[in-house]
Amino acid sequence: MDIQEKFNLITRNLQEIITKDELEELLKTKKELSVYWGTMPTGSISIAYFFPMLKIADFLKAGLKVKILIADLHAALDGVPFDLLEKRTAYYKRAIILILETIGVDIKKLEFVRGRDFQLNGKYFEDVLKLAMVSNVRNCKKAASEVVKMAENPLLGNLIYPIMQALDEEYLQVDIQYGGLDQRKVMVYARENLPKIGYKPRIELITPMIRGLIGEKMSSSIESTKIDLLDDENTLRRKINKAECIEGNPNNGIMSLLKYLIMVLKEDAKESFIVERPEKFGGTVEYSSYEEIEDDFVSKRLHPLDLKNAVAKELNTLLERIRNDKELLDIHKKAYE
């Protein structure tokens, strides 16, 4: 794979690259680039976790070294009780592994890291204090605003959150951080502040936010906006049926699932997406790209109901192995009882 191909694969479906020049330069000059994606083990995992995992598959294909951080202490700074962190971490790790296996990623090729394994370290803590002396309340509040649930008068832990996320880039020894658009302010904070305590700024790769089934965002606290990994077939079908999806308007969560998940998998596997319909409604139709689906949907040749049925079927197939994993079910129960 040449540098241009690598660049294209690394950046496909991204919303923003900070900065494009730095990434191109690094691809030219450094042999093995490394990237981390972090997640805090808070609520039960939704199908949205497939999106970053597909990106991680891209990174691996492009030859990047990938680290997945399960940021347990960050979860605590977002309100998860300290004594639940271990159970939540176990659940997150198993769920992420199952997602990766479902989409065909060899998990031996990546590294799992738990936050507390490198963050509870004297040098790290001293660096927290150093960043805390170049960051005021307003800076930290802004940086954390889209990643932490915060009151007007925030808990101090909420404000330590972005400081630790910045340091993770350094302590995980990576060139790149990858995350969702909600991470953008923390990422910018990291780039601005790491150099003040003697560390180099990292490249930030930002993925667009995936729309919820209802409303703008998949909310971990609103059940109907998201599909849980462990939702059974009927629940999934019911949620898809209730999802917002106005005929002719492609701005909805169903289309996001098609664009960023189903069709990425289909195209990579050189398979097509099949919508089964009775003859009287046009008969069964096959799509080999997202664009074709969107065209038909916008021109109302594809009805929301038919689309939803086909999407529900695909997702149910995708989640089959995960929702039947005994280990995951067991850990999940302990983590959320």
Nearest residue to 62 via CA among 108, 95, 109, 15: 109
Q: Report residue 150 as tokens.
A: 């915060």
Nearer Cβ to a second copy (131/203): 131
Integer angstrom CA distances of residue 174 from 28, 204, 281: 17, 11, 52
Nearest C-alpha neighbor of 40 from the set 95, 113, 89: 89
Q: Confirm if 304 and 245 have CB atoms less than 8 A apart.
A: yes
Q: Is 131 left (phi over 0), alpha (psi -120 to 50) or beta?
A: alpha
Q: What does the DSSP assignment read for 211-224?
A: PPSSSSS--TT-GG
Among residues 140, 166, 254, 261, the one that binds a second copy under rule CB under 8 A: 140
- Binding to a second copy in span 74-113, by CB under 8 A: 76-77, 79, 82
Residue closest to 145 by CA, chosen among 89, 116, 188: 188
129 lies in the site for a second copy, by CB under 8 A: yes
Q: Which stretch binds a second copy (CB under 8 A): 87-95, 147-155, 218-226, 302-310?
A: 147-155
Burial 286-300 (b: 16+ CB within 10 A, else e): ebeebebbbebbeee
Binding to a second copy in span 276-315, by CB under 8 A: none
DSSP 301: S
Residue closer to a second copy (CB basis): 162 or 212: 162
CB 253 within 8 A of CB 212: yes
Contact between 125 and a second copy per CB under 8 A: yes
Per-residue tokens: 112: 């799992």
Among 3, 137, 274, 305, binds a second copy (CB under 8 A): 137
Query: Does 135 engage in binding with a second copy (CB under 8 A)?
Result: yes
Q: Which is nearer to a second copy, 60 or 140 (CB)?
A: 140
Question: Is 154 one of the binding residues for a second copy (CB under 8 A)?
Answer: yes
Query: In the complex with a second copy, which residue's Cβ is closer, 122 or 278?
Result: 122
Report the nearest approach of a second copy to the CB of residue 172 (Å): 17
How many of the chain's residues bind a second copy (CB under 8 A)? 36
How far apart are the C-alpha atoms of 229 and 242, rounded to whole Å? 18
For tokens 């394994």, name the residue.
117
**Segment contacting a second copy by CB under 8 A, of 101-109, 129-137, 238-246, 305-313:** 129-137
Which of 139, 137, 164, 138 is closest to 78 using CA atoms? 164
Asked if 193 touches a second copy (CB under 8 A), the answer is no
Q: Is 138 in the site for a second copy (CB under 8 A)?
A: yes
Cβ contacts of 139 within 8 Å, gap of 6 or more: 189
Q: How far apart are CA 324 and CA 232, in angstroms?
A: 9
Minimum distance between the CB of residue 73 and a second copy, rounded to whole angstroms? 6
Options 5-13, 116-124, 247-255, 273-281: segment touching a second copy (CB under 8 A) = 116-124
Question: 42 or 46, CB closer to a second copy?
Answer: 42
Q: What is the DSSP string of 182-205?
A: GGHHHHHHHHHHGGGGT-PPPEEE
Identify which of residues 132 and 298 has a Cβ nearer to a second copy in the complex.
Answer: 132
Could you say which of 128, 181, 188, 329 contacts a second copy (CB under 8 A)? 128
Minimum distance from residue 84 beta carbon to a second copy (Å)? 13
Binding span for a second copy by CB under 8 A among 15-23, 69-77, 98-106, 217-225: 69-77
Residues in touch with a second copy (CB under 8 A): 73, 76-77, 79, 82, 116, 119-126, 128-140, 151, 153-157, 159-160, 163
